[in-house]
Chain A
Amino acid sequence: MSYDIAIIGAGVVGSLIARKLSKYDIKIALVEKCNDVAMGTSKANSAIVHAGFDAVPGTLKAELNVKGTKLMGYLCEELSVPYKNIGSLVVAFSEEEMETLKELYDRGMENSVPGLKIIGQDRLHELEPNVSKRALGALWAKTASIVCPYELTLAAAEVAVINGVELYRNFAVNDIQFENELFTIKAESGEQIEAKYVINAAGIYSDYIASLIGDNSIEIVARKGEYLLMDKSLGGVVNHVIFQCPTKMGKGVLVTPTVDGNILTGPSAKDIEGKDDITTTSDELDMVRKYTSYSIPNVKLNAVITSFAGLRAHSTKGDFIIEPSKVNPHFINVAGIESPGLSAAPAIAEYVQDIMLDVCGRLPKKVKWHRTRPEPIRFRELSTVERRELIENDPAFGQIVCRCETVTEGEIIAACHGPIPAWDMDGVKRRTRAGMGRCQSGFCGPKVAEIIARERNQDLLDITKFGDDSNIVVGKTK
């Protein structure tokens, strides 16, 4: 197949770019090496929309963070993605850290971050009674928010697909040739596509993808962050994103509510060898526990329901790299998108759109562009009356499959037949929350597997957790 543009990587950045460019009357492919979208950094991060006072003034990070954060609320509403503007607090525990708050405040002012305020101890404890009594004050950033990053990615990719973008899954690019103004992009599976332009949004692998055209200017170090996710019963222990003062390795350990009502703490920060180490370690998780207790002394650390690790795509250059490659101007690098990458993502998509208009010349617009996707039904959020009506129209919504998160069979069926259907257990989990709760799919796992098998006309033996060889069961009983 031949395309005008191929976007490599269906993370939040690639998917938002795909959505943005889908309004033009051109052929676009979105290629992803995994079995689903949002399988890398986009599914394992802090899920924070940062206000924008961290980035060094004058950098792309600073510019796109502040702009992206401004766009995020509206975008999430448009795409019906869970988002809450709860504000953040950087907490200072010493006079020295109070000085750091002032520096952050000044930096924020330079970056044109609205809604910043330094508050004292009393006001801080009024806002967050569970923050350590040793805290002296905080930088309050009212524009900081929380979002569901994988749902945002999925929603963006779905809108792209609805508008004609073709998604290739399990397409792990391992060779790119450029001949006669056309890229030939090959996957490990032997599949191949052609495209006039390539957008490299391959996250931690973006240096590798660039190297395939001989562009060795990018070096991405995978920086691992480990997290603990706590039970919903802890909800309300904090109501803002609680940061510690930043160090050179990152923004410190944060404690935040998630849009789903859990509490998330982390990340640790450790540069790793290679790019596929997403193991959790007891040392790093102990560190997360320690720092969490430092901010919030009475947080119940035994309420952890799962731990996970994600990799940040840290560029050795320090800033986002969003520009046509020096080797081939038809190959656009969108690399080094580490924090505040999620916050900046909506602005990155606009920025890349401008680059494409620049390199491609004028692009024709589609007559009809669908801005959004059908809103997914979330049974647990409906009122009694709405629930009653829903079940009357479709009895599948009367069968609860995941009891912890109140997910119905109807929602799982819908996830199997959406614009980007779920092909595996984790795909259903990210779309519906079945298995995300406190029992972590102990009860619903077998049922979800059965429903996927039925809806996809497959045997249970072929159902995987997340594609490849991650099969749930290995054979039949005697």
Chain B
Amino acid sequence: MLKYDLVVVGGGPAGMAAALKAKECGVERILICERDETLGGILEQCIHTGFGLHYFGEELSGPEYAARFIDEVEKTDIDVKVNTMVLDITTNNVVIAINKQDGLMEISATAIVLAMGCRERPRGAISIPGTRPAGVMTAGTAQRFANIEGYLPGKEVVILGSGDIGLIMARRMTLEGAKVKAVCELMPYSGGLTRNIVQCLEDFDIPLKLSHTVTEIKGKDRVEGITISKVDGNLKPIPGTEEYIPCDTLMLSVGLLPENELSRAVGIKLDKVTGGAVVDQYRETNHEGIFACGNVLHVHDLVDFVTQEAQTAGEGAANYILGKKEYPEFRVHTKGINGVRYVVPQRISIDGSEEPVKLYFRVGQVYTNAAVKVTRNGNVIYAKKKRKLAPGEMENIVIKPEDLQEFSEGDYLFIEVEG
């Protein structure tokens, strides 16, 4: 059996940042298992720019952002196994993984960081009626065909879902000479970043049809066209509003789901809203010594925040490995109410630490001129005015250590929107 202090599952931005941070903190034997051919994760197919504005203060492409971390990993003695799939994690922290060279490996780990990322919601999950021809694919799959394999997924495209990948692919397909006929969004607002709506749709005159969905797919072999319909306040298609759009491709960008099959198998408690693990401020799960970060924990819109979160997890794992972990006296829970869909971390370990705790959250709808409020036992401990809050943009607030000192066991910290 192989032995490591830390095994990081996933070599994308989260996995690399966590491993590097753990190394920096003094962890000796670290292994990253990556299922793809190279480190970098999904960034490798994100050839557009817009990465790194927060973290590096400059605008990089996905592969460039990844390369900075790959270079750092290469400078260290962190072991990397690519084309390596982790099949299982046992309750006593043994990682079962396979690849062509090493065959089936059993790797014993003191701590594990889960950084498997997320996957796209497929067609079936939203049950679009009609035929089942070629040419229906998720935006990420289309992105891989175009940017990694060098093939054009379609010539006349409709995109369902205005999440960031959908928006980015609208521009990418247009630049490749395809005609993007519309981007449809079920909700009355886009789920993507404002800058992407401007730079990917408006700059190319691609219509964004809010409150619209695809109600039928037509085509025997390859998609021949789709019908879109306007939806009412309950998101149900309104009869009589059907519009047929001839096209050969329907791209879906209808949500991302954290890939937590391994976490579930090892008995890690998951948050029903995020689809990721329930963690404390060090990103430690309910299974001692197993940490989670990045899109496997909750779906981020900016990789810069993934990096920061992964560093937190890497440091947490390092403290655990090096015996520096402070065992908490108790934990308090965070909870989003009144418009706040979720909060990560879901609990805060009260362990005498003097560090502030950053809480990340998302709202459930668009708010303008609203306020974010944090309360404990009815007392407001934080309030801030916000000009705009949108589901597509993750927010964060910092809880000061002195506020944490006031907590007692069983307390809840509520985050809510006012206005």
| Chain A CB within 8 A of B181 CB | no
Residues on B with C-beta less than 8 A from A400 are 35, 85, 87, 98
Q: B101 and A398: CB pair below 8 A? A: yes
Query: Of A279, A404, A446, A460, which contacts B144 at CB under 8 A?
Result: A446
B123 touches A440 (CB 8 A): yes
A187 on interface, CB distance cutoff 8 Å:
no
A-B contact pairs, 15 of them (CB 8 A): A233-B264, A278-B131, A280-B130, A282-B129, A305-B124, A306-B124, A307-B124, A388-B103, A391-B98, A398-B101, A400-B35, A465-B133, A471-B134, A472-B153, A473-B149
Q: B104 to A305, Cβ gap below 8 A?
A: no
13 additional A-B residue pairs with CB within 8 Å, beyond A391-B104, A400-B87, A473-B154: A282-B127, A305-B125, A391-B98, A395-B103, A398-B100, A398-B104, A404-B261, A406-B87, A446-B145, A464-B134, A464-B221, A474-B249, A477-B146
Contact (Cβ within 8 A) B150 A477: yes
A 391-418 binary contact with B (CB < 8 Å = 1; else 0): 1100110111001101000000000000
Contact A279 B129 (CB under 8 A): yes
CB-contacts of B184-221 with A (<8 A): 215-216, 220-221
- CB of B150 within 8 A of CB of A388, answer no
CB distance from B24 to the nearest CB of A (A): 30
Evaluate contact between A474 and B131: CB separation under 8 angstroms: no
* Contacting residues, chain B, for A276 (C-beta < 8 A): 220
**How many angstroms from the CA of A396 to the CA of B264 in the assembled complex?**
28
User: Which of chain A's residues has its CB closest to B126's CB?
Assistant: A304
Count of inter-chain pairs, beta carbons less than 8 A: 143
Tell me the A23-70 residues at the B interface (CB within 8 Å).
Answer: none
Q: Are B152 and A442 in contact (CB under 8 A)?
A: no
Residues in chain A near residue B120, CB distance under 8 A:
439, 442
Cβ–Cβ contact B151 & A442, under 8 A: no
Cβ distance B46 to chain A, nearest Cβ, rounded Å: 15
1/0 per position for B132-161, CB-CB distance to A under 8 A?
111001101100111011111111000000
Please name all residues of chain A whose beta carbon is closer than 8 Å to the beta carbon of B85 when the two chains form the complex: 399-400, 403
Q: In this complex, what residue of B is CB-closest to A394?
A: B100
Residue B411 CB within 8 A of the other chain: no
Measured in the bound complex, the distance between the Cα atoms of B85 and A233 in whole Å is 21
- CB pair A442–B141 under 8 Å, yes or no, is yes
Q: Which of A279, A392, A443, A476 contacts B131 (CB 8 A)?
A: A279
Contact: B151 with A461, CB < 8 Å?
yes
- B370 part of interface (Cβ distance < 8 Å): no
Bound together, the chains give a CA A282 to CA B213 distance in angstroms of: 13
CA distance A281 to B150 in the complex (A): 35
Q: How far is the CA of A279 from the CA of B129 in the complex (A)?
A: 7
Which B residues lie within 8 Å of A398 (CB)?
Answer: 98-104
Closest CB-CB distance, B17 to chain A, in whole Å? Answer: 22
Q: Kindly name the residue among B103, B144, B264 whose own CB sees the greatest number of chain A CB atoms within 10 A.
A: B103
Cβ of A470 and Cβ of B144 under 8 Å apart? no
* Closest-CB distance, B33 to chain A (whole angstroms): 12
**A369 neighbours in B (Cβ, 8 Å):** none
User: Please, how many angstroms separate the alpha-carbon atoms of A433 and B145 in the complex?
Assistant: 21
Whether B83 lies near A399 (C-beta < 8 A) is yes
Q: Which chain B residue shows the least CB distance to A443?
A: B119
Report Cα–Cα, A468/B35, bound state, in Å. Answer: 33
User: Scoring B residues 262 to 275 as 1 if CB is less than 8 Å from chain A, else 0, what string do you get?
Assistant: 00100000000000
**A446-B141 in contact given A280-B129, A304-B124 (Cβ < 8 Å):** yes
Known contacts A440-B122, A446-B141, A468-B221; A285/B248 CB under 8 A = no
Residue of A nearest to B154 (CB): A474
Sorting the interface of chain A by its residue count into under 10, 10 to 19, 20 to 34 or 35 or more gives: 35 or more
Does A475 count as interface, using CB distance less than 8 angstroms? yes
Residues of A within 8 A of B237 (CB): 282
Known: A395-B100, A439-B120. A472 touches B134 (CB 8 A): yes
B177 interfacial by beta-carbon distance below 8 Å: yes
Least Cβ–Cβ distance between B168 and chain A, in angstroms: 15
> How many interface residues does chain B have, given as a range?
35 or more
A408: nearest chain-B partner, CB-CB: B98
Option from B35, B122, B152, B216 in Cβ contact (under 8 Å) with A305? B122
Is A72 part of the contact surface with B, judged by Cβ < 8 Å? Answer: no
Contact B100 A391 (CB under 8 A): yes
- In the complex, whether B222 has a CB less than 8 A from a CB of chain A is yes
B133 touches A384 (CB 8 A): no
Cα–Cα distance between A285 and B152 once the two chains are bound (Å)? 33
CA distance A113 to B62 in the complex (A): 64
Chain A 448-467, CB within 8 Å of chain B: the 1/0 string?
00100000000011001111
* Contact (Cβ within 8 A) B155 A474: yes
Contact B122 A306 (CB under 8 A): yes
Partner of A442, one of B134, B140, B176, B264: B140
Whether B332 sits at the interface, judged by CB under 8 Å, is no
Inter-chain contact B134/A280, CB cutoff 8 Å: no
The distance in angstroms between the C-alpha atoms of A473 and B103, with both chains bound, is 33
Judge whether A387 is part of the interface by a CB distance below 8 angstroms. yes
In the complex with contacts A395-B100, A461-B151, A279-B130 CB distance below 8 A: yes
A95 at the interface (CB under 8 A from B): no
Across chains A and B, which 3 residue pairs bring their CB atoms closest together, nearest first? A306-B124, A440-B122, A465-B134
User: Using an 8 Å CB-CB cutoff, how does the interface string of A332-374 with B read, 1 for contact, 0 for none?
Assistant: 0000000000000000000000000000000000000000000
Chain A nearest CB, measured from B244 CB (Å): 15
Quick check: is A3 within 8 A (CB to CB) of the other chain? no
**Does the CB pair B215–A282 fall under 8 Å?**
yes
Q: Given A279-B131, A478-B176 in contact, is the A384-B104 Cβ separation under 8 Å?
A: yes
